[in-house]
Amino acid sequence: MARFRDSISHWKDVLGSSKTHTGNEKSDEKSTTTAKADSGHSSLSNPPPTSAPLSTMPSGPDTLQFPAASSEQLAPYLPTKSSSSKTTPFTTLTFATSLDASLALQPGTQTHLSGPESKAMTHYLRSQHAAILIGAGTARADDPGLNCRLEGVGLDSQPRPIVVGNWEFAFDDLDDEDEGNGEDDSILDGHTEDGLTEDGDADGESVDSAALDEHVEAFTSVLKERGWVGAKPGGVGEGIKSQVEAAPPLRNDSVSHAQLLKKEKEKQKEKIDSGDLEEDEGSFPELTQIISSKGWDRVSRCLRAVKEGKGKAPWILVPASQIPPATDRRRKYLEKMGGRYIGISDSNSNTDSSAAPGSGAASLDWTQILTTLKSEGIDSVMVEGGGTVINSLMAPGYEDLIDSVVVTIAPVWLGQGGVVVSPARKAGSKAALRLKSPKWCLFGEDAVVCGRV
């Protein structure tokens, strides 16, 4: 019963909350398409890499444009060939904060701080690094795409998404594909980053059927409580549709959302077959359609980008002792997409890092993490966040690992209770870190400070 209540509150959270915004809503992709050279900052000369044919990177409404003029300002802080002799990648720390150093209004939520121009700048940085690294907390809170959506950036130039910690990404149901039920047979067919095709070896471990039933029941009961299903013939009204559309993605649950909706559809069909429900009665089919059309039932955005040929498959870094077994459904899925779990030695040699706020969860040693990435061929990495990752990487003892810092500062105070960047300070010192040769630039309404450490 307690599990059921948890499940109900989970669905209430998922369906009822919405992302937080700070007045920079216009920073969403659709409006960023206009983030061009007329946005008030100086011109750039370094065009984004276009080594891959444009046809590999479909452009669409979410494509960003960064004026070729501004890259000159960033050039001194970007990875260079000379960094390749280091045992760790060229590491850029880059994130957006409010005037009071918050990354987000509260833990577990995404806050849009960057305006269109600085967001395009961040995507330019993505195009200049071999990898983007985030913590599992950010993967959960933001469900990020983690690709570079600048116009003209081909798949070869996409950064490798790297998530540190146990990220329970949402994914399509491999069992469904095996059944060849026509729902999404193309999932692994030519859309994995390496162009792998399905090998028919997708007999994933069976889902906990009791847990699934519980989720379906809880999910449906929350929908019913809100009048979103079973209300009246004719399906959901516009108001309800917009509520559902405004809800954040369904993600990161222990049960695949594809499984969940498949099960619900089966129940619905049984009721229709037995005459308990008219085919057009109630709104679940329509609701399911909305959810499906938004891709919420399918897969985390980062993996969707892989399927759509718009990004590389993620690597997930976990303590070596916690790599999931080869039979694990997520691991199998990830590997079929071209991604990997990578084990990092568990011994944390940086004794000072425990002093950083929120770094209790940062158990892995950053030197180990970055050395491993370098040994895996990653020459440059852009660390985006969130709070735990940034505060622990900036903690005393790790400074030498950071080559560049590029911080976007939005003209807003988020107030108390946010996810704050405030690294630990060595006892007796007057600052935690100070940037060398800092340069301040304006991108639209945001200030961007670049520097070396």
Q: Return residues touching ligand NAI (CB under 6 A).
A: 95-96, 103-104, 107, 109-110, 113, 134-138, 141-142, 164-165, 358, 361-364, 384-389, 392, 419
404 contacts ligand LIKH6CAM (rule: CB under 6 A):
no
344 contacts ligand LIKH6CAM (rule: CB under 6 A):
no
**Cα gap 452→106, rounded to integer Å:** 29
Query: 8, 44, 64, 96: which one contacts ligand LIKH6CAM (CB under 6 A)?
Result: 96
Interaction partner, residue 388 (ligand LIKH6CAM, ligand NAI, none; CB < 5-8 Å by kind): ligand NAI
Q: Are 69 and 382 in contact (CB under 8 A)?
A: no
Q: C-beta of 347: minimal distance to ligand LIKH6CAM in Å? A: 27
Q: C-beta of 254: minimal distance to ligand NAI in Å? A: 16
Half-sphere exposure for 72 (CA within 13 Å, toward CB): 7
Stretch that binds ligand LIKH6CAM, among 144-152, 164-172, 242-250, 371-379 (CB under 6 A): 144-152
> 3-state SS string over the chain?
CHHHHHHHHHHHHHHHCCCEECCCHHHCHHHHCCCCHHHCCCCCECCCCCCCCHHHCCCCCCCECCCCECHHHHHHHCCCHHHHHCCCCEEEEEEEECCCCEEECCCCCCEECCCHHHHHHHHHHHHCCCEEEEEHHHHHHHCCCCCCCECCCCHHHCCEEEEECCCCCCCCCHHHHHHCCCCCCCCCCCCCCCCCCCCCCCCCCCCCHHHHHHHHHHHHHHHHHCCCCCCCCCCCCHHHHHHHHHCCCCCCCCCCHHHHHHHHHHHHHHHHHCCCCCCCCCCHHHHHHHHHHCCCCCCCHHHHHHHCCCCCCCEEEEEHHHCCCCCCHHHHHHHHHCCEEEEECCCCCCHHHHHCCCHHHCCCCHHHHHHHHHHCCCCEEEEEECHHHHHHHCCCCCHHHCCEEEEEECCCCCCCCCEECCCCCCCCCCCCCCCEEEEEEEECCEEEEEEEC
Q: C-beta of 444: minimal distance to ligand NAI in Å? A: 16
- Number of C-beta neighbours around residue 364 at 10 A: 22
Q: Which is nearer to ligand NAI, 96 or 130 (CB)?
A: 96
Interaction partner, residue 202 (ligand NAI, ligand LIKH6CAM, none; CB < 5-8 Å by kind): none
Q: C-beta of 161: minimal distance to ligand NAI in Å? A: 13
Q: Using CA atoms of 231, 237, 240, 246 in order, give the dihedral in degrees to the nearest 10.
A: 150
**Cα gap 433→407, rounded to integer Å:** 14
114 contacts ligand LIKH6CAM (rule: CB under 6 A):
yes
- Number of C-beta neighbours around residue 239 at 10 A: 9
Interaction partner, residue 144 (ligand NAI, ligand LIKH6CAM, none; CB < 5-8 Å by kind): ligand LIKH6CAM
Report residue 324 as tokens: 């999931």
Q: Which is nearer to ligand NAI, 337 or 407 (CB)?
A: 407
Q: Which is nearer to ligand LIKH6CAM, 115 or 282 (CB)?
A: 115
Q: Which is nearer to ligand NAI, 137 or 309 (CB)?
A: 137
Q: C-beta of 388: minimal distance to ligand NAI in Å? A: 3
Interaction partner, residue 136 (ligand LIKH6CAM, ligand NAI, none; CB < 5-8 Å by kind): ligand NAI
Interaction partner, residue 363 (ligand LIKH6CAM, ligand NAI, none; CB < 5-8 Å by kind): ligand NAI
Contact flags string 356-395 toward ligand LIKH6CAM, x per CB under 6 A: ----------------------------xx----------
97 contacts ligand LIKH6CAM (rule: CB under 6 A):
no
Interaction partner, residue 67 (ligand LIKH6CAM, ligand NAI, none; CB < 5-8 Å by kind): none
113 contacts ligand LIKH6CAM (rule: CB under 6 A):
yes
Q: Which is nearer to ligand NAI, 21 or 224 (CB)?
A: 21
Q: Which is nearer to ligand LIKH6CAM, 48 or 145 (CB)?
A: 145
406 contacts ligand LIKH6CAM (rule: CB under 6 A):
no
405 contacts ligand LIKH6CAM (rule: CB under 6 A):
no
Report residue 102 as tokens: 């918050």
88 contacts ligand LIKH6CAM (rule: CB under 6 A):
no
Q: C-beta of 187: minimal distance to ligand LIKH6CAM in Å? A: 21
Q: Are 366 and 350 in contact (CB under 8 A)?
A: yes
Report residue 133 as tokens: 């690294």
Q: C-beta of 135: minimal distance to ligand NAI in Å? A: 2
Amino acid symbol at 202: A
Query: 77, 124, 142, 414: which one contacts ligand LIKH6CAM (CB under 6 A)?
Result: 142
**Chain residues that interact with ligand LIKH6CAM, rule: CB under 6 A:** 96, 110-114, 119, 122, 134, 138, 142, 144-146, 384-385, 408
